[in-house]
Amino acid sequence: MGLRSFFGILPPKLFYKDVSAPVELLPVPEKITLLWYRRTPSDLAVGVGTEVETGQDLARNGRGPFVSTVTGHVDEVNTFLGVDSREYLAVQISADQKDNFDPSLPAVEDLSEAKPETLRASVNRAGFTALKSIIRDPRVWPAIDALIISVLDLDPLSIVNQQIFRDNTDQVQAAVELLARTTEASRCVLAVPDNLAGIASKVSTGAATVAMVPPVYPNGLPEILAKNCGAGLLMKTYDTGFAGNTVVVSLEHALAMVSSLQTGRPMLEKTVTFSSGKGELQNFRVRIGTPVGEILKRASVNPQPKGKLILNGTMRGYACFSDEQPITATTESVHVQEPSEVFFFQNTQCTNCGKCNAICPVDLEVNLLGRLSEYGIYDKCRGLGIENCVECGLCGYVCPASRPLVQFLTRAKQGLSEEAQEPAGMEEALECNACGPVCPAIRLFDTESDKEDSPKA
């Protein structure tokens, strides 16, 4: 997977896998679990025992979408601790093997004549977050300088988008043209790894330009693609608005969006790459909400007690402590490590070797950020640009002291985000004292105080 540094002078390189693995469709499991972040049962339009249809929005009006991926009835509504240590609202559904589709999400009748805001509204209602994460109202849309449809994967052990590109070359042009109209991007780019150059040369991409990208991690991450192939900055939403000029959509999600616009059906399935130290890479397509255990069962792999089950790759992923963890729309891979393969971070001091700084793709001072994050000094982390961290994991990969650098930085980013969401206390709100000099009540109080404090004749 990787190439070590030459005599320790140059940073090592991690190459994406150049492997073709056919996609196997797994049957719908008996139960699925759907996760919804930062929500409560009051946000649901359904409860225990409610019959639901495939594609039905389970959220109350205006609070969703939160789409059911199966037909069945709700068994349980509770909280679920995700692999990222965040609490989610979890809805467990007993699934029927036959789908009855909810008709409330119709297909767009004439795609060639539909307005961009109509296309965006339909994509948002279907539950896709790629566009809704930028702005909720499809009528108010920022100027997009570049749209990138990425054939690259997010982890060196994932081959999802590469395989979908191999299997669906005839659908690429439709995806490019329709999403270009939907986003109203000034230009469109199809980012393809160099190892698929032969296939890319035979694909009709319409108005899009093809950018050949070296298959070296982390070139497939959205922030890096926006920097190298787009207009420079990935479009993101903040509390005060949005910033950026480039939208990046994976090929899998792009094709699913086109299918949703054509059929009126939301994204119900997710393709996941399974890997372990013993076997070859395998691709499985499962219903969103399927427990990870179903993939392990089909792959005939039983994780050992002291091994690791990792979701979303060894570089950016999280250890999973239960095979009941459901597959979500953002799950890219499942990896199983044997006990002998498990790597343990160490509680050691930074040696200031500078290897983390040298390999950082966004040129952060990782050695300083790691120490500040370790001791919770988050305000100084902001001054060093920690928001620009893409959490690629390369810093921890090269650290000779085995420090959990990416975990430190991720926690600092979460801490800053939580601080921004907390309401200011009374003392913080009155620190500026801008209202004091002009307040007549304060003036009167000060005048009376001066009279009382003045010496008597």
Helix (H, G, I), strand (E, B) or coil at 3: strand
Q: How many domains does the chain have?
A: 2
- Domain range spanning residue 255? 116-263
Tell me: do 256 and 120 sit in the same domain: yes
Domain boundary pick from 263, 279, 308: 263
Tell me: do 129 and 244 sit in the same domain: yes
Q: Are 105 and 55 in contact (CB under 8 A)?
A: yes
Reading the block at residue 350, the tokens are 């930074």
Tell me: do 259 and 389 sit in the same domain: no
Summarised one tens digit per residue, pLDDT across range 260-291 is 999 989 999 999 999 998 778 999 999 999 99
Tell me: do 131 and 258 sit in the same domain: yes
Tell me: do 242 and 379 sit in the same domain: no
Tell me: do 360 and 250 sit in the same domain: no
CA–CA distances in Å: residue 91 to residues 33, 68, 103, 355: 6, 9, 21, 44
Tell me: do 259 and 376 sit in the same domain: no
Reading the block at residue 107, the tokens are 């297909």
Is residue 158 one of the residues assigned to a domain?
A: yes
Alpha helices in 160-288 (DSSP H): 160-167, 172-183, 197-200, 222-228, 251-263
Is residue 110 one of the residues assigned to a domain?
A: no
Summarised one tens digit per residue, pLDDT across range 364-409 is 999 999 999 999 999 999 999 999 999 999 999 999 999 999 999 9
CATH code for the domain in which residue 157 is found: 3.40.50.11540
- Chunk the chain into consecutive blocks of 10 residues (it has 457) and report each block's average pLDDT, rounded to whole numbers: 56 92 97 94 96 96 90 97 91 96 86 89 85 67 92 96 97 92 94 96 89 97 96 81 88 95 93 90 98 96 91 93 94 95 92 95 96 94 94 95 95 86 55 55 50 53
Dist CA 286 CA 207 (whole Å): 33
Q: Are 378 and 413 in contact (CB under 8 A)?
A: no
Dist CA 219 CA 215 (whole Å): 7
Is residue 192 one of the residues assigned to a domain?
A: yes
Exposure class string for 381-405: b at 16+ Cβ within 10 A, else e: beebebeebbbbbbbbbbbebebbb
pLDDT at 445: 45
Tell me: do 240 and 361 sit in the same domain: no
Is residue 63 one of the residues assigned to a domain?
A: no
Is residue 257 one of the residues assigned to a domain?
A: yes
Domain boundary pick from 233, 263, 293: 263
Is residue 316 one of the residues assigned to a domain?
A: no
Is residue 454 one of the residues assigned to a domain?
A: no
Is residue 391 one of the residues assigned to a domain?
A: yes
Tell me: do 252 and 390 sit in the same domain: no
Q: pTM for the whole thing? A: 0.87
